[in-house]
Amino acid sequence: MDVKQLAEQVIAGNRRALARAITLVESVRDDHRAQAIELMEEVGKSGRQALRLGLSGTPGVGKSTFIESFGMMLIRQGLKVAVLAVDPSSSRSGGSILGDKTRMELLSREKNAFIRPSPSQSELGGVARRTREAVALCEAAGYDLILIETVGVGQSETVVSEMSDLFLLLLAPAGGDELQGVKRGIMEMADLILVNKADGDLKPAAQRTCADYAGALRLIRKRPQDPKDFPKAMTVSAIEEKGLLEAWGEMNTLADWRRENGFFDKRRSEQAEYWFAQDIRHGLLSQLEKEPLKSMIAGLARKVSKGEITPGHAAADVLRALKDA
Amino acid sequence: MDVKQLAEQVIAGNRRALARAITLVESVRDDHRAQAIELMEEVGKSGRQALRLGLSGTPGVGKSTFIESFGMMLIRQGLKVAVLAVDPSSSRSGGSILGDKTRMELLSREKNAFIRPSPSQSELGGVARRTREAVALCEAAGYDLILIETVGVGQSETVVSEMSDLFLLLLAPAGGDELQGVKRGIMEMADLILVNKADGDLKPAAQRTCADYAGALRLIRKRPQDPKDFPKAMTVSAIEEKGLLEAWGEMNTLADWRRENGFFDKRRSEQAEYWFAQDIRHGLLSQLEKEPLKSMIAGLARKVSKGEITPGHAAADVLRALKDA
A92 pLDDT higher than 60: no
Question: Are the Cβ atoms of B285 and A287 closer than 8 angstroms?
Answer: no
Residues 77-136 of B with CB under 8 A from A: 129, 133
* Rounded mean pLDDT, B53-76: 93
On whether any CB of chain B is under 8 Å from the CB of A39, the answer is no
B40 vs A contacts (CB less than 8 Å): 310, 312-313
Distance CA A287, CA A294 (A): 9
| Average pLDDT value over all residues in chain B | 89
- What is the per-residue pLDDT for B324? 78
Question: Are the Cβ atoms of B273 and A305 closer than 8 angstroms?
Answer: yes
- Taken in order A91, A97, A102, A104, is the CA torsion positive or negative? positive
Cα–Cα nearest to A51, from A258, A278, A246: A258
Which ranges of B190-262 would DSSP assign to H, the alpha helix?
Answer: 203-219, 244-260
pLDDT band at B97 (very low <50, low <70, confident <90, very high): very low
Flag the least confident range among A127-136, A138-147, A276-285, B180-189: B180-189
Q: Which of B183, B310, B318, B322 to mutate to test the interface with A (most CBs of A within 10 A)?
A: B310
Q: Which of B40, B271, B304 to mutate to test the interface with A (most CBs of A within 10 A)?
A: B304
Annotation: CATH topology of A48-261: Rossmann fold (3.40.50)
Summarised one tens digit per residue, pLDDT across range B114-158 is: 999 887 766 777 788 889 999 999 999 999 999 999 986 668 889
A57 pLDDT higher than 50: yes
Selecting from A276, A305, A322 the residue whose C-beta is nearest the C-beta of B311 gives A276
| Helices and strands (H, E) in chain A, number of each type | 14, 7
On whether any CB of chain A is under 8 Å from the CB of B296, the answer is no
CATH label, B48-263, candidates 2.40.10.220, 3.40.50.300, 3.40.50.620, 3.75.10.20: 3.40.50.300
* Rounded mean pLDDT, A128-156: 91
| Helices and strands (H, E) in chain B, number of each type | 14, 7
Flag the least confident range among A212-221, A295-304, B117-126, B224-233: B117-126
Selecting from A133, A276, A315 the residue whose C-beta is nearest the C-beta of B280 gives A315
CB-based contacts of B249: which residues, under 8 Å, 6+ apart? none
How many residues are recorded in chain B?
325
Summarised one tens digit per residue, pLDDT across range A187-245 is: 889 999 999 999 999 999 999 999 989 988 888 878 899 999 999 999 999 999 999 99
Rg (CA), chain A: 22
Mapped onto helix, strand or coil, the DSSP state of residue A79 is coil
Q: Assess contact for B288 and A279: CB atoms under 8 A.
A: no
Selecting from B37, B301, B313 the residue whose C-beta is nearest the C-beta of A312 gives B37
- What is the per-residue pLDDT for B96? 43
Distance CA B48, CA B140 (A): 6
Same fold, B1-45 and B48-263: no
Can you give the residue ranges of every domain in chain A?
1-46, 48-261, 290-324
Annotation: CATH topology of A1-46: 1.20.5
* Rounded mean pLDDT, A49-59: 93
Question: Are the Cβ atoms of A301 and B41 closer than 8 angstroms?
Answer: no
To the nearest whole Å, the CA of A14 is away from the closest chain B CA by: 23
* Rounded mean pLDDT, B57-82: 94
Q: Assess contact for A21 and A137: CB atoms under 8 A.
A: yes
- What is the per-residue pLDDT for B154? 66
To the nearest whole Å, the CA of B43 is away from the closest chain A CA by: 11
B93 pLDDT higher than 50: no
A278 vs B contacts (CB less than 8 Å): 311
User: Scanning every residue of chain B, which has its alpha carbon at the shortest distance from the alpha carbon of A40?
Assistant: B310
Q: How many CB atoms lie within 10 A of CB A300?
A: 22
Question: Are the Cβ atoms of A37 and B313 closer than 8 angstroms?
Answer: yes
Flag the least confident range among B41-55, B251-265, B276-290: B276-290
On whether any CB of chain B is under 8 Å from the CB of A44, the answer is yes
On whether any CB of chain B is under 8 Å from the CB of A317, the answer is no
Per-position b or e across B184-221, b if 16+ CB within 10 A of its CB: eebbebbbbbbbbbbbeebbebbebbbebbeeebeeee
- What is the per-residue pLDDT for A287? 87
Summarised one tens digit per residue, pLDDT across range A249-275 is: 999 999 999 999 999 999 999 999 999
**What percent of chain B stands above pLDDT 90?**
67
Question: Are the Cβ atoms of B280 and A273 closer than 8 angstroms?
Answer: no
To the nearest whole Å, the CA of B76 is away from the closest chain A CA by: 33
Is the N-terminal amide bond of B311 cis, ω within 30° of 0?
Answer: no
Q: Which of A279, A317, A320, A322 to mutate to test the interface with B (most CBs of B within 10 A)?
A: A279
Would you state the CATH architecture of domain B1-45? Up-down Bundle (1.20)
